Structure 1
Amino acid sequence: MEPTQNVPENHIQIGQLRSAYGLNGWLWVYSNTDPMSNVFDYLPWLVKTKEGWQTMSVKRWKPHGKGLVVALKGVSDRTAADALVGAEIWVDKAQLPKAGVDEYYWSDLKGLTVLSLDEQEQDINLGRIYELFETGANDVMVVHATPDSIDSEERMIPWHKDVVQHVDLEAGRIYVNWGVDY
């Protein structure tokens, strides 16, 4: 484990170390990848710990129950594993496959300004995407108000083909078919 400073901006969080597993330094892994085992396709990991950033290598991993457990190089006992609980797993974004047409990484959507149109086809600023989360039916954008938005409401807008009209990553905007009063 080597402490690393000045993490490059081109990194993306792909998981988290959740809790110690057993006595030999293994940890439960929460994965943001689909399928979840793909978290091990992107190595080494840059891990954000309480003490700072560390580059970590995976020694072994295995599925266990409905989750995943991992043994990391340099983590050999329960005490060392406990020290990593809650640490975030990051990788260089260049390691990830390019998103397909009309596909986006959530990290690219966070911070986009969400715009709708009024009856006169004028832009209505609904706020900025704060986070996204999965539901059974579709993903949901959590939109927080900004000083420029139409009001101070937080909105939960479904990521659905009938709602999301256009995404412009370069301009930092996403157009939605969503009323102010929804």
Structure 2
Amino acid sequence: MTPAQNVPEDRIQIGQLRSAYGLNGWLWVYSNTEPMSNVFDYLPWFVETKAGWQTVDVKRWKPHGKGLVASLKGVSDRTMADSLVGANIWIAKSQLPQPGVDEYYWSDLKGLVVLGLDEQEQEINFGKIHELFETGANDVMVVHATAESIDGEERMIPWHKDVVQRVDLEAGRIYVNWGVDY
């Protein structure tokens, strides 16, 4: 671990250091990547500690039970590992591969304005995407109302080809086939 010189402005969180594992400085790693072992494809990591931002490299890692454990360069005992527990793992967004056609990173979708059409083909503002989550069938957008939205309702809108009509990242909008009363 070394103090980070240039923490990326466009950083994205890909995981978290959860708890110490054993006595030799290993840590449980929670991963937001799919599959979870892809978290190790994006090095170095940036973690924010009490001492400020640190650049972290992984010496070794392995699957363990249903999770992952890792040995980090410069972390050689449990006390050092304990000092990192709870630290979020960040990378520069530029480290991620470009998404394919009609593929998006969830982080790019958060904050987009969600628009639909009423029976008279007038635009309806449902609010902004607050978060996304997976279900067994498809992903779901959690849309929070804003001052500009049609009402104060929070909506759960499925990410499905029949619902999502168009995504315009540059304009910060997503168009959906969704009714006010759904």
Provide the C-alpha distance between the structure 1 equivalents of 2:27 and 2:129, rounded to a whole number of angstroms.
32
Paired AA for residue 165 in structure 1: Q
Corresponding position of 2:146: 146
For the 8 Å contact 2:8–2:91, the answer to whether it is kept is: no
Corresponding position of 1:173: 173
Corresponding position of 2:129: 129
What CA RMSD, in Å, does the superposition of the two structures yield over aligned residues?
1.4
Corresponding position of 2:112: 112
Structure 1's 158 and 50: CA in aligned 2 closer, same or farther, altered over 3 A? farther
Q: Show the 5 A alignment for 1:23-38.
A: 23-38=23-38
Q: How many percent identity over aligned positions?
A: 84
- TM-score, structure 2 as length reference: 0.94
Give secondary structure in 1 for the equivalent of 2:7.
coil
Provide the C-alpha distance between the structure 1 equivalents of 2:166 and 2:50, rounded to a whole number of angstroms.
39
Runs (4+) off by over 6 Å:
none
Provide the C-alpha distance between the structure 1 equivalents of 2:9 and 2:71, rounded to a whole number of angstroms.
27
Shift of the alpha carbon at 1:6? Answer: 6.7
Unmatched runs of 5 consecutive residues or more in structure 1: none
Shift of the alpha carbon at 1:112? Answer: 0.3
Paired AA for residue 78 in structure 1: R
For the 8 Å contact 1:130–1:144, the answer to whether it is kept is: yes
Corresponding position of 1:12: 12
Give secondary structure in 2 for the equivalent of 1:94.
helix
Greater Cα shift, 1-10 or 171-180: 1-10
Shift of the alpha carbon at 1:173? Answer: 0.2
Q: Show the 5 A alignment for 1:27-176.
A: 27-176=27-176
Unmatched runs of 5 consecutive residues or more in structure 2: none
Provide the C-alpha distance between the structure 2 equivalents of 1:32 and 1:18, rounded to a whole number of angstroms.
13
How many residues end up aligned between the 2 structures?
A: 182
Shift of the alpha carbon at 1:9? Answer: 2.4
Give secondary structure in 2 for the equivalent of 1:39.
helix
